[in-house]
Amino acid sequence: MKQNITLSLEKAIIRDAKVLAAERSLSVSALLAQELARLVEQDREYRQARLCAIGDLEQGLRLGGNPLDREALYDR
């Protein structure tokens, strides 16, 4: 379901947005909707990647080799 929003922008921004939208064969409304959707999706992907990275850090990484206890490290 779509819903309208109201924005207040500087006249120069609106003028440039109209030109940009026309160059892309879009309305200003469609241009803004497209860009907002892209920003929201980008943020969603970032948050998901962040959660995965935090999970990896909490789990730790197996680097191979045999784990040694403190005493074994100092026995030379």
The pLDDT assigned to 20 comes to: 98
Distance (Å, whole) CA 24 – CA 31:
8
**Is residue 35 predicted with pLDDT exceeding 70?**
yes
Question: 17-21: long-range contacts at Cβ-Cβ below 8 A with a sequence spacing of 24 or more?
Answer: none
Q: Can you tell me the mean pLDDT for 9-29?
A: 97
The pLDDT assigned to 64 comes to: 75
The string of pLDDT tens digits covering residues 44-72 is: 999 999 999 999 999 887 777 777 778 87
**Is residue 17 predicted with pLDDT exceeding 90?**
yes
The pLDDT assigned to 76 comes to: 60
